[in-house]
């Protein structure tokens, strides 16, 4: 199937992009890497009258340190994160997650900002942003606005991004020496969307966990914090009884829906399996950052 007819414009500034979005409303779509948008066009699930290509905007690019934060531009490709030594050194959670994002061809074109803004509940980057406590910078072409990842994802494919705004970058607080990370997912085939996945961050002092942030994806309409598991694991060495209590608490925090491939009960079971693996990983001495 071919895409419907549309007009195309290569934006020269954020201000121009925002003005076009205001003018055309729902008839316009922003084009970054295009790995989701072009597929929906070809399947005629989306029929915009105007595509606004933002690939030429330099302020949306780059991976750099800014003070106590690692800033990653919205146009940074998945493969750029996967291959970045700076990311590997400063925020290894993202390096762990990157190889799981779709397939190599898609990682070569798809962007971090596109994934975050699309907000697929089974995607890796939204959960990583939540686990790493990222702050999202959005712009209407004149003013910037900052939104914490925990407030950005509202519902299924719905975010706090306003109709005339563009996602500019994500800023991740740099972890301290005790901070450790674990990422894991289960999918039918490598590169498929995850059935269930987890991104976990925690401080480890003398074998004890603290300041946990456990984010699951594929378990609801948005990436979800496992607050009950975080509470049960905090201050512990995660012995078997504590881990079991944390796994059981997932039933209180999450009520996943069945999908084409897994029942709700299967998803809950797999979430418990991944939680155990992630906790064991961060407690291994070789995972120290």
Backbone angles phi, psi at 99, to 5 degrees: -65, -15
Q: Given this model, what pLDDT does residue 288 score?
A: 45
- Position 265 pLDDT exceeds 90: yes
Q: Decide which of 176 and 3 is more confident.
A: 176
Structural domains of the chain, with CATH: 7-53 (3.30.43.10), 58-173 (3.30.465.10), 179-283 (3.30.390.50)
Q: Tens of pLDDT along 130-165?
A: 999 999 999 999 999 999 999 999 999 999 999 999
Q: Which residues pair with 213 in a beta bridge?
A: 201
Cα 268 to Cα 188, 211, 244, distances in angstroms: 16, 24, 13
Confidence (pTM): 0.95
Residues of the chain with pLDDT > 90: what percent?
Answer: 89
Q: Tens of pLDDT along 240-249?
A: 999 999 999 9
Task: State the alpha helices, DSSP H only, in the chain.
Answer: 14-24, 37-42, 78-83, 85-90, 92-97, 104-107, 112-118, 124-131, 149-152, 227-233, 240-253, 264-282
pLDDT band at 38 (very low <50, low <70, confident <90, very high): confident
SS3 42: helix
Mean pLDDT lowest for which of 12-21, 37-46, 98-107, 202-211? 37-46
CA contacts within 13 A on the Cβ side of 86: 13
């Amino acid at each position: 199937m071919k895409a419907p007819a549309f007009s195309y414009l290569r934006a020269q500034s954020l201000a121009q992009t925002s003005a076009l979005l205001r003018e055309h409303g729902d008839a316009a779509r922003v084009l970054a890497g295009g790995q989701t948008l072009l597929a929906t066009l070809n399947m005629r699930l989306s029929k915009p009258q105007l595509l606004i290509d933002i690939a030429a905007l330099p302020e949306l690019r780059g991976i750099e340190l800014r003070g106590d934060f690692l800033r990653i531009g919205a146009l940074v490709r998945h493969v750029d994160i996967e291959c970045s030594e700076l990311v590997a050194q400063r925020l290894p959670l993202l390096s762990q997650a990157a190889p799981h994002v779709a397939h190599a061809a898609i990682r070569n074109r798809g962007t971090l900002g596109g994934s975050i803004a699309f907000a697929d509940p089974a995607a890796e980057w939204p959960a990583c942003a939540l686990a790493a406590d990222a702050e999202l910078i959005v712009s209407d072409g004149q003013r910037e606005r900052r939104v914490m990842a925990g407030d950005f994802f509202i519902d299924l494919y719905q975010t706090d991004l306003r109709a005339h705004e563009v996602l500019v970058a994500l800023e991740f607080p740099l972890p301290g020496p005790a901070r450790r990370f674990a990422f894991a997912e289960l999918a039918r085939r490598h590169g498929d969307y995850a059935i269930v996945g987890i991104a976990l961050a925690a401080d480890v002092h003398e074998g004890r966990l603290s300041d946990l942030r456990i984010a699951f994806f594929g378990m609801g309409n948005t990436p979800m914090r496992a607050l009950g598991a975080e509470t049960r694991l905090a201050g512990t060495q995660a012995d078997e009884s504590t881990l079991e209590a944390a796994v059981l608490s997932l039933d209180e925090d999450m009520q996943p829906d069945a999908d084409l491939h897994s029942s709700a009960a299967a998803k809950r079971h797999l979430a418990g399996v991944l939680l155990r693996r992630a906790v064991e990983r961060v407690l291994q001495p070789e995972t120290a950052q």
